[in-house]
Amino acid sequence: MGDKSPKANQKKSGQKNAKVSSANAKKSAAIANKQAAGKKK
């Protein structure tokens, strides 16, 4: 722990971005599903 090398920091930020983007994708998919369900009714 405590690895302050640029490579380690880059890896961490990459993992963070991947998590955030997948969460956003799930959110937008859920919203799209809700909208589609609303239009069907």
Q: In a structure prediction context, what are the per-residue pLDDT tens digits for the chain, which is 41 residues long?
A: 566 777 877 888 888 888 888 999 999 999 988 888 887 55
CA dist 40 and 8 (Å) reads: 48
pLDDT at 29: 92
For the chain, how many residues are written? Answer: 41
pLDDT at 3: 67
pLDDT at 17: 84
The whole-model pTM stands at: 0.51
pLDDT at 11: 80
Angle at 20 between CA 15 and CA 24, to 5 degrees: 150
pLDDT at 41: 58
